[in-house]
Amino acid sequence: MKSIVVLISGRGSNLRAIVEARLPLRIARVISNRPGAGGLAIAEGRNIATSVIDHRRFDTREAFDGALASAIDEDAPDLVVLAGFMRVLTAGFVERYRRKLINIHPSLLPAFAGLHTHRRALEAGVKIHGCTVHFVSFALDNGPIVIQAAVPVRDDDDEAALAARVLVEEHRIYPQALHWFAEDRLTIEGNRVRIAGHEVETPELAA
């Protein structure tokens, strides 16, 4: 069975969804850069090993990422899963885990990379918003896309309402993407990810 290490910074609802999906994957460890992250308790409650590597104890991003990589490598995971991990990673770190680093981002990439995606979607007036699971490459919130889910934007939405609607989809597509990974069905070809045995339904075109 493949193993993963999950990196978090906060409440850990995506971590919970991943744990509860009972995937054919071993969660070797959960690492948080914040000592009080709610996700740590979720992991501890399920006897998953946890570590805290507080980024404030490091002078540079390189030093923090180095400590993080050392901790990850102790478990030699097949995949490093970013689940609400709110630190920008250095190019060296991304290179070290090339094709072995996956992220969820709360927008339909390439739209709204970066922070405050729901607010920016509302400001832009888009009618469709959503979330994306992607392998991580050098540019922020960029890299081969595994799966996306769309949600409608309603006239009366505020940031919180829209975020909640997107989060429901995050909790569905991240376990799905990891399931495919666990079954060795993902192949990265340039910017595209091929999913073995996955038929995407397309509407019939009228003649």
Interface residues toward ligand GRF, by CB under 6 A: 8, 10-14, 39, 83-84, 104-106, 167, 170
Q: What is the DSSP string of 123-148?
A: HHT-SEEEEEEEE--SSTT-S-EEEE
Report, in Å, the least distance between residue 171 CB and ligand GRF.
Answer: 8
Report, in Å, the least distance between residue 94 CB and ligand GRF.
Answer: 16
Comparing CA positions, the residue from 102, 84, 99, 93 lying closest to residue 38 is 84
Q: Whose CB is nearest to ligand GRF?
A: 84
**Residue 129 designated active-site:** no
Comparing CA positions, the residue from 165, 167, 171, 162 lying closest to residue 120 is 162
- Beta strands 101-105 and 25-32: pairing type? unpaired
Distance CA 14, CA 85 (A): 11
Report, in Å, the least distance between residue 207 CB and ligand GRF.
Answer: 42
Q: Which is nearer to ligand GRF, 8 or 30 (CB)?
A: 8
User: DSSP assignment, residue 199?
Assistant: P
Q: Which is nearer to ligand GRF, 124 or 164 (CB)?
A: 164
- What's the full length of the chain, in residues? 207
Q: Which is nearer to ligand GRF, 13 or 183 (CB)?
A: 13
Q: Which is nearer to ligand GRF, 126 or 163 (CB)?
A: 163
The catalytic residue among 105, 118, 129, 134 is 105
Report, in Å, the least distance between residue 68 CB and ligand GRF.
Answer: 17
- Beta strands 25-32 and 79-82: pairing type? unpaired
Decide: helix, strand or coil at residue 116. Answer: coil
For the annotated catalytic residues, the residue numbers are 105
